[in-house]
Amino acid sequence: MKAAWIADAARGDLSIVVGETADPDAGSRGLIVAVEAVGLTFGEPHWVTNGAGPLPDGRPRPLPVIIGHEFAGRVVDAAAGDHDFTVGDRVFGLIDFWRNGAAAELAHVLPSEIARVPEGISAVDAATLPIGALTAWQGLFDHGHLQAGQTVLIHGGAGAVGTFAIQIAKGAKARVIATARGAESVALCRSLGADVVVDTAAERFEAVAGGVDLVFDTVGRDLLERSWAIVPRGGTLVTISGEAEDAPSPERARELGVSAAWFIVSPDPGQLAQLASWVLDGRIRVKLDAVYPLDDARRVFQEAAGRAHAGKTVLKI
């Protein structure tokens, strides 16, 4: 099969290779999916480069590793395991990060990682949900415990996670303040329903972010550091920043009387199914940044740092 993989951790984005490799084996408990679309996470080559794993024991992933862990496609081998999927089912999901991803013609997946794609949702749109929308759900509800009537500050509102977080929070009847950079990104956040949008290129969010119950940070660095000062006692700060220095300090959280969490998104078929139903009924809409063919994978990663992103980049297989 054709696939895109990281061949050499030391070379980062330059190590991405598109070529032929062996077909995956379903094994004793997996399924094989003919991939139709895969969402990209541009930091993935650097997870390997900096030795951060993510293997459960902290070791770097063995190379080569196929990129792209959120996907949509059709089941072509459903013989193995205890599940109710059948050949021909349209599915989407999130492959655990320590296994090969789905930027390939075929992918090995587990029943616990996927849900069915309802009629009316394209494979490209479905492939944007398993990381962006799941991360938003888990950050807002599982870790942030957002309730109706509360106020949430979402850093990076125009990004692949932020665009979903704004919509999901509004659907939960929360008041939403979003940060974004530049007029186009600010306009996008407003179109998604944010009550207040702060252009971080021109103003400081602290001036308008009073009465915040939850900060959900998707950016890290200075925005996260400054957010500690606006979370009241009893409030919550959640971040998904990949920078090690951004991990919230438990000691600092206790001193300030707030809850603080850092997390990595995990597969959840029930949540995926609910998110898909919200796309169908219009509660949330997908924001695509760009769609490319699999053959362009290396070029897309190389050019990613040089351009702004609004929404998700997808490879169409």
- Could you read off the pLDDT of 158-174 as tens digits, one per residue? 988 999 999 999 999 99
What secondary structure does DSSP assign to 205-252, as a single string? Answer: GGGT-TT-SEEEESS-HHHHHHHGGGPPTT-EEEE----GGGSPPHHH
Q: What are the extents of the domains in the chain?
A: 2-128+286-316, 132-262
| CATH architecture observed for domain 132-262 | 3-Layer(aba) Sandwich (3.40)
Q: Which CATH number fits domain 2-128+286-316: 3.30.420.10, 3.90.180.10, 3.10.20.30, 3.40.50.2300?
A: 3.90.180.10
Three-point CA angle 106, 268, 130, nearest 5° = 55
Residues 6+ apart with CB under 8 A from 154: 162, 165, 166, 169, 176, 177, 178, 179, 194, 216, 218
- Could you read off the pLDDT of 68-118 as tens digits, one per residue? 999 999 999 987 778 899 999 999 999 988 889 999 999 999 999 999 999
pLDDT value, residue 52: 46
Question: Minimal CA–CA distance to 19: which of 292, 298, 291?
Answer: 298
48-79 burial, b at 16+ Cβ within 10 Å, e below that, comes to bbeeebeeeeeebbeebbbbbbbbbbbbebbe
Residues of the chain with pLDDT under 70: 9-14, 47-61, 242-246, 306-309
Dist CA 298 CA 226 (whole Å): 35
